[in-house]
Amino acid sequence: MTPHISRRTTVSIATAVAAGALLTGALTATGAAAQPSAPSATPLALSASARADLIKDARANTAETAQELKLGSKEKLVVRDVVKDRDGTTHTRYERTYDGLPVLGGDLVVHASKSGEREGVTRATSKSIDVATTGASLAAAPSGARKIVWAATGTPRLAYEKVVKSTKKDGTPSRLHVITDAATGKKITQFDAIMTGTGTSEYSGTVEIGTTKSGSSYALTDGTRGGHSTYNLNHGTSGKGTLFTDADDKWGDGTVNDPATAGVDAAYGAQVTWDFYKNVFGRSGINGDGKGAYSRVHYGNAYVNAFWDDSCFCMTYGDGSGNKDPLTAIDVAAHEMSHGVTSATAGLIYSGESGGLNEATSDIFGTSVEFYANNSADPGDYLIGEKIDINGDGSPLRYMDKPSKDGASLDSWKSGAGNVDVHYSSGIANHFFYLLSEGSGKKTINGVAYDSPTADGSTVTGIGRDKAEQIWFKALTTYFTSSTNYAKARTATLSAASDLYGASSAEYKAVAAAWTAVNVK
């Protein structure tokens, strides 16, 4: 679980992935935007059984793969995911163990051609895993901690990982992972695993949502999108809450007076996010296995936050200040759900530069889903959280064209960017994505005026959001690892652009130019 969207005050929003929403008919009255045909290097839409077969085959060959990669005798590979491109190329993601211990930051991706020939390997660390002893070094290990090998930063070493569960001042649950050197007892790092993110909705107008008839009533459960369900916590903070049901299949009244209104927004947000990942990238559900998550609304009292939690595979939404503005807008829902996608793929550690990239990925796809939904009540824009009024003055939470407009986010990379809160260091990648999509300078899109600068005064010409999305998703799922930083993100997106459009393409050159424009070289 990891906190995600935040504002400059003490309140933060965790944004990740909610799963498929509920639909009895077609998508929505407004419909999703059409997508261009995909290059051959884009992911192939796999059925759950086809994906399971690929994973099974990879598991059967882990020992052989480890030997080919010249891993040590104490190292073993554990298959985490397999992505297959339209041209037959496969990208198999592995976790690693050492002498039976999990290696955090030891993950890698093996790229293989259609014929099975290995074409390359992307590693979270290039350093050898060679720990002198895996015996406990401290007289007393932290209570409740597990022994691991820490390889995400510095020289791989024996360490302990302790998960500290608590609740933050604003009511957000916390699952803080504290990594301690087993030899010295000194803290190496810490990161949070909470990522903070027909009915009449509050933000999206009248929409069609997926429901299931049960006896004489209807349940807010979408049987067509992995069984995603929406629950009412009724201001509680634990458990699932109560599944929304309705006698006539007409949900909400568009205001906070009806508790079902927030349920409609959450279900609709999950629905369009599911459809976006499915129709644009061929990904079926957050984990890619066709299974839906679930959403909980009306969390706590006046809770100004939303978050994704891996442990329950669920999205949770507060009702905002004074319980007047539930955090259930499209881009927030998609932001939170996308934390789940990141967790299921690259697994970007939620601290330092990798944490900024994690947060930016949710902003990027939250924005992309909003454009994809093509909803006239909430048109696509490059503003984050503009509907939920989290600042109390009508301003958005973040700006992708010039992130520093929020008063805290970084427009470009600088030394020490990894020490900046991940919600603000994310501005570097958000700005990159905007420049790659739309280019620099002044322009108006869907009625919103933008004026995007560059760190070096250069002029960047955008390639369009559709292509930018494909490049970022491919980089995330096939080249990012748990410890990817901004310099490695540049390399990963260039590799993705080369795969998709060619190393001499305008798209490849635009990726390089956009990164240079945010001082990532």
Residue from 75, 161, 208, 336 carrying the catalytic annotation: 336
How many CB atoms lie under 10 A from the CB of residue 173? 23
Planar angle of CA 69, 105, 487, nearest 5 degrees: 90
Please report, in angstroms and rounded to a whole number, the separation of the first and last CA atoms in the chain.
32
What's the token pair of residue 78? 């554990």
Tokens in use for 369? 């889903």
| CA-angle at 302, arms to 310 and 407, nearest 5° | 80
- Check if 438 is active-site: no
The C-alpha atoms of residue 369 and residue 277 are separated, in whole angstroms, by 9
Note if 75 is an active site residue.
Answer: no
DSSP notation for 229-282: EEEE-TT--SS--EE-EESSS-B--SSTTSHHHHHHHHHHHHHHHHHHHHHHH-
Residue 139 to residue 135: CA distance in whole angstroms: 11
CB contact burial 26-46 (16+ within 10 A = b; e otherwise): ebbebebeeeeebbebbbbeb
| Cβ atoms of 271 and 23 closer than 8 Å | yes
Closest residue by Cα to residue 269 from 78, 7, 23, 485: 23
Handedness of CA 42, 47, 48, 53 (dihedral sign): negative
- In the three-class reduction of DSSP (H, G, I as helix; E, B as strand; rest coil), residue 480 is classed as coil
Query: Residue 198's CB: how many other CB atoms inside 10 A?
Result: 16
Task: Give the burial string for 101-119 (b: 16+ CB within 10 Å, else e).
Answer: bbbbbbbbbbbbeeeeeee
Q: Measured between alpha carbons, how far is 223 from 37 in angstroms, rounded to an integer?
A: 28
SS3 396: coil
Q: Do residues 429 and 404 make contact, with C-beta atoms less than 8 angstroms apart?
A: no
Taking the C-alpha atoms of residue 51 and residue 393, their distance in angstroms, rounded to an integer, is 47
Residue 347: HSE in the Cβ half-sphere, 13 Å Cα cutoff: 18
CA max distance for the chain: 66
| Distance from C-alpha of 89 to C-alpha of 87, rounded to nearest angstrom | 6
* Whether the Cβ atoms of residue 68 and residue 101 lie closer than 8 Å to each other: no
Q: How many CB atoms lie within 10 A of CB 155?
A: 11
Q: Which of 423, 438, 469, 507 is catalytic?
A: 423
Catalytically active residues are: 336, 423
